[in-house]
Amino acid sequence: FGRPWIFIRGVPSMKFLPPEGPLEIAFAGRSNVGKSSLINGLVGQKGLARTSNTPGRTQELNYFVPDGFSGDPGDLPPMALVDMPGYGYAQAPKEHVDAWTKLVFDYLRGRSTLKRVYVLIDSRHGIKKNDDDVLNLLDKAAVSYQIILTKTDKIKEPAVPRLISETLEKIKKRPAAFPEVLATSSEKGVGMEELRDAIRVAIST
Ligand code: GDP
């Protein structure tokens, strides 16, 4: 996806956000949904999003940017990828959930350079209650979001189109949902080019 991407900062609360600059594409999902693997697959760098899984970083917004910008016509415009903290730990104490909601909602509501949020859903589980809560938050904040199904290699191939249409049916009344669902497998490299294209379109429109 262009050039080497680098981790620039972890943001534990709003006052540590970088000043608004390049457009931002953010990624959200339940813990273990495959978010790190997807971000690594997207940029083609195995170790990149590991950073965000290291203890202490898990409750932060993690910022990644391309290392330099060539200005070549084929190059991406400057942008940042924002890895949002995972949600839905079974044992999460209420304060933890509240802190997550506050950081994420403040960020979503106040960030004019945020272009789109990708919400990752595990193909085997579909949209769960806490995913729905996050979609409600996004609709309320009026932030454009698109659903990505992850780990499609874990379900039978003919089930994929059905899962896509079931997911579309579930989100069709949601005002901020992008009416297309991407099916991916980081393991098999499926859907990565489609995701890159979708991001290119999102940041150039
Ligand atoms: P995160 O907690 O959302 O960042 O999830 P990770 O990217 O760390 O992935 C969680 C687990 O799911 C790891 O064991 C990954 O190897 C596995 N995983 C991630 N993506 C895929 C995928 O596309 N297919 C399969 N089969 N496993 C995956």
The three-state (H, E, C) secondary structure of 48-72, written as one string: CCHHHHCCCCCCCEEEEEECCCCCC
pLDDT for the residue numbered 201: 93
Among 37, 38, 51, 184, say which to mutate for ligand 1: greatest number of ligand atoms within 8 Å of CB.
Answer: 37
Ligand 1 atom closest to the CA of 53, numbered from 1: 4
Q: Which of 69, 71, 103 is nearest to 84 (CA)?
A: 103
- Its pTM stands at 0.94
Residue 152 confidence (pLDDT) above 70: yes
Ligand 1 atom closest to the CA of 31, numbered from 1: 2
Instruction: Spell out the domains of the chain, with CATH numbers in brackets.
Output: 5-204 (3.40.50.300)
pLDDT per residue as tens digits for the range 61-89:
999 998 876 556 566 667 999 999 888 87
Which tokens go with 139?
A: 């609709």
What residues are in contact with ligand 1 under a 6 Å CB criterion?
A: 29, 31-37, 53, 86, 150-151, 153-154, 185-187
pLDDT for the residue numbered 53: 60
Nearest protein Cα to ligand 1, atom 20: 34
Ligand 1 atom closest to the CA of 150, numbered from 1: 23
CA angle 112, 118, 124 (to 5 degrees): 160
**CA of 41 relative to ligand 1 center, distance in Å:** 11
